[in-house]
Amino acid sequence: MAHIKILATGGTIASRTGRDGAASAGRAEDIAASLSGRHSYSVQDITNANSFRLRLADVRIIAEAVRAAVADDAVDGVVVTHGTDTMEETAFALDLVHDSPKPVVFTGAQRPADSPVADGPANLEEAVTAAAAAGLRNAGVLISFAGQVQSARGARKVHTVAANPFAGGVEVAHFVAGTLHVTAIPVRPAPLPMPGEDFDNARVEIIVCALGTGPELFNHAVHTGASAIVLAGTGMGNAGEGFAEAVQDAVHGGCPVVLCTRVPAGPVVPAYGAGGGLDLVRAGAIPGGDLAPVQARMLAALLTSLPATQEEILQALTTGTSRSR
Query: In sequence order, what E strands does 11-138 have?
Result: 15-17, 23-25, 40-49, 77-81, 104-107
pLDDT given at position 309: 79
How many CA within 13 A on the CB side of residue 249?
13
78 neighbors 7 (Cβ within 8 angstroms): yes
Closest CA to 128 of 172, 80, 89: 80
**Domains of the chain (ranges plus CATH)?**
3-187 (3.40.50.1170), 202-320 (3.40.50.40)
| CB-neighbour burial class of residue 222 (10 A; exposed 0-12, middle 13-18, buried 19+) | buried
Other C-beta atoms within 10 Å of 180: how many? 18
pLDDT given at position 18: 65
pLDDT given at position 91: 98
pLDDT given at position 28: 61
Contacting residues for 302 by C-beta, under 8 A, at least 6 apart: 93, 96, 97, 192, 195, 199, 202
| CB-neighbour burial class of residue 17 (10 A; exposed 0-12, middle 13-18, buried 19+) | middle
**Selected catalytic residue, list 9, 12, 81, 304:** 12
Closest CA to 234 of 216, 265, 215, 260: 260
Order across the sheet with 286-287: list the strands.
Answer: 204-208, 228-233, 257-261, 286-287
Please say if 12 is a catalytic residue: yes
pLDDT given at position 16: 76
Bridge partners for 287 per DSSP: 259
Closest CA to 82 of 127, 128, 42, 50: 50
Backbone angles phi, psi at 185, to 5 degrees: -125, 125
Query: In sequence order, what E strands does 200-261 have?
Result: 204-208, 228-233, 257-261
79 neighbors 14 (Cβ within 8 angstroms): no
For the four alpha carbons of 161, 167, 169 and 171, in that order, the dihedral sign comes to positive
Q: What is the pLDDT along the chain (325 residues), one digit of tens a residue?
A: 899 999 999 888 988 776 665 655 656 667 788 888 899 999 999 998 889 999 999 999 999 999 999 999 999 999 999 999 999 999 999 999 999 999 999 999 999 888 899 999 999 999 999 999 999 999 999 999 999 999 999 999 999 999 999 999 999 999 999 999 999 998 888 899 999 999 999 999 999 999 999 999 999 999 999 999 999 999 999 999 999 999 999 999 999 999 999 999 999 999 999 989 999 999 999 999 999 999 999 999 999 999 887 778 877 876 443 333 4
Please say if 304 is a catalytic residue: no
pLDDT given at position 318: 62
pLDDT given at position 26: 58
pLDDT given at position 310: 78
**Selected catalytic residue, list 9, 47, 81, 84:** 84
